[in-house]
Chains A and B, each alone.
Chain A
Amino acid sequence: MTAVLSVEDLSVHFGPARPVDRVSFHVNPRETLAIVGESGSGKSLTALSMMGLLPRNAKVSGRVLIQTPQGPADMLGLPEKRRRLLRGKQIAMVFQEPMTSLNPVHSIGHQIEEVLIAHENLDRAARRTRVLELMNLVRIPDAARRIDDYPHQLSGGMRQRVMIAMAVACRPRILIADEATTALDVTIQAQILQLLDNLRRELDVAVVLITHDLGVVSQWADRVVVMYAGLHVEQATPAQLFGDPLHPYSYGLLRASPRSDAGLTYRDAPLAEIPGSIASARGEVGCPFRPRCPAAREVCGTVQPPPIQHRGDRLVACHFPGILTQEERHVAAYA
């Protein structure tokens, strides 16, 4: 099985700042890969680099290889004209805010049609049929009547469905959803996540979920990449990550989430806190999590740990992988 997309040693620089720092991972066909991290972790910039959509003042290095029928193509090395062909056809993206990503002066049918005009050679009637098919595909009820609606006439969930229809219009192999459900209500979020999962199976597309929500990761991802301060700190399956987090940051995130304490309330015990904020990493040598890490030793302040293979297929960037989980088991055993 060859990866449909592999990111190799991707770094993004803005002047002296390096918000994405030597990140490597790959996406397998038909899988859901989640990239999880808080704001400032570099997850959205990573997604934009995968699309070749970084702002002009960003300097980028590394490779983003996308499988095409003609062999792998490096999104970062291609001229803009060829990148445009890849976008839509091979890789597509859905953004967080469906209100601002849709153009308010065009009907939604027209906007979906625009994508087809850009990429496919179809006559007007065929395009109209495809638009209706796509609207049915993303389960927009009553598509024939809705086709001439304007974005402001739709709810947030429906607008996000339109965005997804536009993204999958040309049958891409990879669909990136950048916090695509964050602005939605829980019941609508569940609908959209399920839609993405159905599309993954029906259209044979790999989904990259960029999210900060561990619940979404645990239910919908096949593999997880955890990012912190621009670094790729851990990679595992959700079961591995949630059962046995190796990086102290992943451990802290899981324990800080009220979800993990099954029946506990604030009257029983406080939530575990990670002190400080992600800004603590600024200007640090060594491990960027060191200022917030309870297990930090001297070496963490001098050497930045690279992501290394751990127990088979997992990756972790820590000098003492699994230290907090082991200790927790230790304490539990003596309690």
Chain B
Amino acid sequence: MSLLTLENVATAYDTPQGRFRALEGVSFSVAKGETVGLVGESGCGKSTLGKTLMRLVPSDEGSIRLDGAEISQAQGRALMPVRRKLQMIFQDPFASLNPRHRIRRILTGPLKIHGVASRAERNRIAEEIVQRVGLPGDALDRYPHEFSGGQRQRIGIARALILRPQMIVCDEPVSALDLSIQAQIINLLAQLKAEYGLSYLFISHDLSVVRYFTDRVLVMYLGRIVESGPTRDVWNNPRHPYTRALIDALPEADRPREAAPLAGDLPGVQNLPGGCRFHPRCPYATDLCCRSEPLIDAKGGTHGFACHNPLPLKA
């Protein structure tokens, strides 16, 4: 049963140059207990998608259903149950905690507005969660600046967990951390998921982390999902040339230094090319690609791609 379903979601934003669509025709679903990865380069709209889900930016069209309820139009009080089910972890552990608040206040504040009435109960829950994410018990009475990056990220995770959500949007949760700390945080996220039956939408630009940590993956390019499917399938047999290029761009020991990387720059949603949005950078582009935009067809989480000339299916 799917916990979160998006259908044809589009989000636009205003700039001095006009209105641009940061997301277009985004459809996917996340099942209970599933980790779905969202990869793409900067400016492709992956963070906007996270914020759209969280109802932090309004969506223009399409439907977002969480646990059966339509939330794309929810406002104010009506959002409170959504907040309890859906939470978020941020990229920058230095910017995401209010520097003027102690950890106790950061953690008990959400409980207070979500109706945990007694102070003792709030403190008990906060103490439990702080231990659970691997911080010492005296952490509650400290300020964020007293902690290292990895420890702050644990606090960010504790804050996302404190309302016992069913799903967490992780927006690049480890990309600001050192490698040795990344592993700690990913392991923690994996344990918490097993323990609380969480679903994750794991937004990242790091394909190796996404490959390790996700069950299914969505590849995004300039506001559209261009390929999606079980992580293993997409990784082993990418059909969209962009996915292939992303995987090939990962520096690895066995890659020859001469292999030509994907040429060209990311154009950004302000100046989208006509036809397939990837065609100016695509080595396989044909006339058809310049004229018509291919649409993705992935029913029920199967491997799908938006390409007129997909890479061959491996046996």
Contact = CB atoms under 8 A, between A and B. Distances in A.
A3 interface: no
Interface string B195-218: 000000000010111011111000
Contact of A214 (B179, B205, B261, B263): B179
B250 A186 contact: yes
Pick from A239, A261, A265 the residue with the most CB of B within 10 Å: A265
A47 to B, nearest CB: 18
A256 B151 CA distance: 17
B113 interface: no
Interface string B103-145: 0000000000000000000000000000000000000000000
B238 to A, nearest CB: 14
B178 A186 contact: no
Contact of A155 (B211, B260, B265): B265
B252 A259 contact: yes
B148 A186 contact: no
Interface stretch (B12-20, B60-68, B183-191): B183-191
Given A218-B253, A257-B179, A271 B231 contact: no
Contacts of B255: 219
Interface string A258-278: 110100111100111111011
Interface in A203-218: 212-216, 218
Interface stretch (A100-108, A189-197, A321-329): A189-197
Interface residues of B, number: 45
A187 B262 CA distance: 6
B251 interface: yes
Contacts of B151: 277
Contacts of B266: 155, 185, 188
B190 A257 contact: no
B41 interface: yes
Nearest to A238: B253
A267 B35 CA distance: 11
Given A253-B179, A273-B183, A275-B184, 17 more contacts: A38-B178, A185-B205, A186-B246, A186-B250, A187-B261, A191-B263, A219-B251, A219-B255, A238-B253, A242-B253, A252-B180, A253-B180, A256-B182, A256-B183, A259-B252, A266-B186, A271-B183
Interface of B: 35, 41-42, 148-151, 178-184, 186-187, 190-191, 205, 207-209, 211-215, 231-232, 245-246, 248-253, 255, 257, 260-263, 265-266
